[in-house]
Structures are given as structure tokens and as C-alpha cells.
Structure 1
Amino acid sequence: MSKADQLFVSMCKDILDHGTTTEGEKVRPRWEDGFPAYTIKNFGVTNRYDLREEFPALTLRRTALKSAMDEILWIYQKKSNNINDLNSHIWDQWADESGSIGKAYGYQIAQKSSYREGEFDQMDRVLYDLEHTPFSRRIMTNMYTFADLHEMNLYPCAYSVTYNVTQGEGDEKPVLNMVLMQRSQDILAANNWNVCQYAILLMMVARHVDMVAGELLHVIVDAHIYDRHVDIVRELIERPQYPAPRVSLNPNVQNFYDFTIDDLIVEDYNHGPQVKNIPIAV
């Protein structure tokens, strides 16, 4: 069975059984009817996924992998903060009349800094370092820029990625690993979406630098289940589990900036029914 399912079920049970509640506290999020959106939460959840073993898509329900890839390309490849460059509508409620979400996400990745080798934006510097000094311990992106927070329509949730290369005895190629840091996560709505997004990002970057995509370490500071999601989660984690799908990239594409969602190949994805009309707190 899918290891991603097993991790998800274990994480949800631990939150529901041992988490703390924010009920009655002063909270920012609200439901569409104006009521406060309280959560049950765990502090400091860490999950590890090895892409050499399987692709970490849930089978309890379907994760829209191409839509997830589209958003990750919007941020790291197109480096956009405008929803008109995105095929889905997941950011519509945070966009202004021009389509901008402010100085968030792709805007931050596009910002250039000066190095001895010249000027690079954040993603270009990652690719440069992995090509020239792959065993550096300084290869990362970070979207949590304090000076720009007041101009972001939503503070970054998944805000930092650190890349780390290993090469053990017997490894034919170097292995590219990733740590994803997330300050806050809506477990029902976003957990596997983010996991799959960054697994795909890891695969694309590994392809670009001719490495093997290895481990994704996902660190969530505030892992929470919203009060109106509890019953949905309880039903979801009791569903049957299936083997993980086979997910790969078009073998003819090497350059990170050439990938499109059509280059994601998804095979044998068996899953339970979709969960529809999940209420989203804003």
C-alpha cells in the first residue's frame, strides 16, 4: 500500500487524538459565514518521503497532480504572482483586480541578488550551485521576506526549500534531497497537494542537474485540522488504500525551464472518490 497514505493516516490520527485546540482563542481565519475557523493542531510534524521508493500521492482520494505541478511551475519556473498565469483558480480569492497576489511566492523567487559570479534570482542560483558546487550546504530558496510581508495578500505557508546532495557507496549518480519548511498547513485541503508539488519540483530539478531524486523531508510547524473538517478527515482515513501510482517526467526534457504539465506522466493511479466542496477558511 502507499506509504504516503500510511503517513497521512498516522499524522491525522495523532492530531485528532493528541492535538490541542484553538477553540475560544483569538484566531485570524474565518469561514464564509463569518464564524471563526478553529483548529485541532500539532506542533512540529515531520514526514519523510523517498522518491526512489514511490511517488507520494495519496490513494485515499485523488490528488490533481497536473494542477499541483502547474502551481509549482507558476512559482518557480514562471516566477509569477499573477493568477492570469495560472490555469487553476485556487488563488482567485487572494488576487486583486489586476490578478496580482502582491509581493508573494513567484515574485520573491524572481528577485535577484548579487554574487561574485553575477546576478541571479533565487531559482537560477539553485540551479547554478547544484551544477557547480553540488555539495554546498547553502543551496536554498526563501520566500519569507519580512520587508515585503505588508504587500503580500497572503503570507507564504510553504516558504523555504533547502537542497542537499548525497552520494553513497554504490550510488551511480548523486542523489538530490530536499527539505520543505512550512509554517502552517491545512492538513485536509493542502497536505498532499504540497507534498506532491514539491516532489515534482525535486524531480524536475534533479533531472536538470542529472541527479537522482531522493528524499523529501517535510517539516510543518503548525499542522492543523479545521473544526469543520474533522468529520471529513475521520471518514477519509478509514478508506481503503491502494499501491502508489507511477509518476515520471518526459524523458526527452532535461532543462528545468522547458517542463510543462504535459511532461508529467501518471500511470496506474488507483484512488478513492474525491472529497468535494471542502469548506476553506480565509
Structure 2
Amino acid sequence: MRHPEYQYLDLIERVLDHGDERVDRTGVGTRSIFGAMVRFDLSGGQVPILTTKRVYWKTAVKEMLWFLTGGTNIQALLRDNVRIWTDWPLATYRRETGEQIDQETFERRIVEDDAFAARWGELGPVYGKQWRRWLGTDGQEHDQIATLVETLRTNPASRRMLFHAWNVGELSGMALPPCHMVYQYHVTSDGRLNCLMFQRSVDLLLGAAFNYVGATALQLMLAQQAGLQPGELVWVAGDAHLYLNHLDQAREQITRTPHPFPTMRLVRHADSIDNYRIEDFVVEGYAPHAAIKADVAV
């Protein structure tokens, strides 16, 4: 059986060979295709933490746990040693103040100075806000995650088990509009929880690997909360692209032979979806190739 990671490597190769090259929002430029799908079977315990480069899976899980808190300020992330969201507020700070502060100094001020963090660490109504506190036209807040968990438990045959983050009325206030924007769930008759995650835009070299891990971690938590077993993760992308300054790294990655996927399991049964910690996740058998470094386009 062909290693499932080749779905990702084949996608990268397709973008390299056939992608449409154009200037994008960041000014860096991309090579992209429109429409892609990969499928990963989680039922045997193995999870799609890519092996053709090292993926810092704990960072991806911590980000997902932060989303579930409803948080929108990077201070909590930085205090947990997660720096993947700093680029956007740092760019805003530099643009609005004219101060060319370095990233380390900016992050230290966010961590240590609550007032500074409140002013400059806020990302706007991004993922967590929409997932946990979507504001309806009636002024009431809607907790999409809590509703999903309840439906999984009480009406698992429902075709309405989903949540999304593309809140048109609040897009302008977000540091970055949601990329992984819709998650839909499906329960089989033998109690397996499947997930389809639609991503409107994906940075294939840097972003996809994190998105696979985050969606997997969430699927494991939801399955446990609903008394189900993990099934299949289906990932669907709209604009799947490589930044033009990532092409050499992508070419390097597709020359590497995948190693066996690791396993991920929860070592504690949290009493609610809100009470998981990074220590609850254990990954075993992860033996990746070396990390591949590349810059984030902002």
C-alpha cells in the first residue's frame, strides 16, 4: 500500500509542475492550483504528522487548544511558547508606529506588559471568537463547538454537524481572514467520527502540515467527548499554493521518502472539550527527516 503522505507530496509536485504563477496579496507571489483533496485514515491510531520534514506538532496542537478557548490575543500563545501568529500584529505595530522593533523585543513586551498586549497583541475576531462566540443578528452569542459536541452525543446521524469561521460581517476586523474555514463531521453506523475540513487558501509548504495536525487533534478530542472512535480526516483545499520563495524547499521535500506515520493518543479523558491540555496528547514513533526552514509571507 502506498504511503498516505504521498498524497501531499504529489500535490506539491503538481503545483510545482502545473501551478498558475501570479502575484498575490503578500507581494511574494505564488504558484497555485485550484481544488485539492487528501484523505487520512485515523482509525488505526496513526496520524498525518508529515515525516518528509520535521513538524513541530506540539505547536499545532497548542494552537488548536487556543482556538477552543475562544482567545484572540497572541499573549496567551506567546506565554505557551507559540510564535506562529506574531508576524501579523508585529507588521501592524511597525506600520502604525514607525518603530522597527525586532520580533524578540515585541514578543517580550506582549508577554510582560498586559496593556501593550491589549493594544498590539489583538488579532481581531479570528477563529476562536467565531467558533465559540459567533455574534448573531439578534445580539446573542452562539457557541458552535458546544453545539457540535451536544449534537454528536444526541443526534449523530445529523447532517448539520459543522462549524465555520467566515463571518462576513467581521472579516474586516480580522488580522487574517480564516483559511481553514469549515469543519463538517459525520458519524458512521459503527461509531467512527469522520471530519471534512475545507480550507479556502493553504500555504502548502508551511501551513498544510500544521492544519493536518490541528484538525487531527480536534477530531480525537471530539471523538472522545462523544464516545466515538476516530475515523477518516478528509482535507479539501480551494487555492493550494506554494510561495515563490518556497520552491527550492518544496523540491527538496518531494525527493524524500516518507517514514511510517506516528501514532497520537489522548492519555486523559477530559471532562469537557474545554479542559484538554497539551500534556494529554502523546505522540509515539515519530521519526521524521530534518526540518525545512522557510519564511512566512505576511
Indicate the SS of the match to 2:33. strand
- The aligned counterpart of 2:20 is 20
How many Å apart are 1:120 and its aligned residue? 4.6
Note if contact 1:2-1:58 (Cα within 8 Å) is conserved in structure 2.
no
Q: Deviations over 1:95-144 (max 9, x none)?
A: 36522100111111122578xxx975111111111111111101111110
Match runs of 1:37-186 below 5 Å: 37-53=28-44, 54-76=46-68, 78-86=69-77, 87=80, 88-95=82-89, 97=116, 98=118, 99-111=121-133, 120-167=142-189, 171=190, 174-186=191-203
Return the structure number with greater helix share: 2
Structure 1 gap ranges (5+): 30-35
- The aligned counterpart of 1:33 is none
Match runs of 1:230-241 below 5 Å: 230-241=247-258
TM-score normalised over the length of structure 2: 0.83
- CA 1:113/1:151 → structure 2, altered by over 3 Å: closer, same or farther? closer
1:279 aligns with 2:295: yes
- CA 1:272/1:101 → structure 2, altered by over 3 Å: closer, same or farther? same
How many Å apart are 1:93 and its aligned residue? 2.1
Which amino acid letter does the alignment assign opposite residue 70 of structure 1? Answer: K
Q: 2:53, 2:173 → 1: CA distance?
A: 35
How many Å apart are 1:56 and its aligned residue? 0.8
Question: Once the two structures are aligned, what percentage of the paired residues are identical?
Answer: 32
Q: Deviations over 1:27-78 (max 9, x none)?
A: 311xxxxxx21111111011111101421111111111111110001112x1
How many Å apart are 1:251 and its aligned residue? 4.2
Note if contact 1:182-1:220 (Cα within 8 Å) is conserved in structure 2.
yes
CA RMSD of aligned residues (A): 1.9
- CA 1:135/1:119 → structure 2, altered by over 3 Å: closer, same or farther? farther
Q: 2:156, 2:217 → 1: CA distance?
A: 20
- CA 1:91/1:156 → structure 2, altered by over 3 Å: closer, same or farther? same
Note if contact 1:166-1:176 (Cα within 8 Å) is conserved in structure 2.
yes
TM-score normalised over the length of structure 1: 0.88
Which is worse superposed, 8-17 or 205-214?
8-17
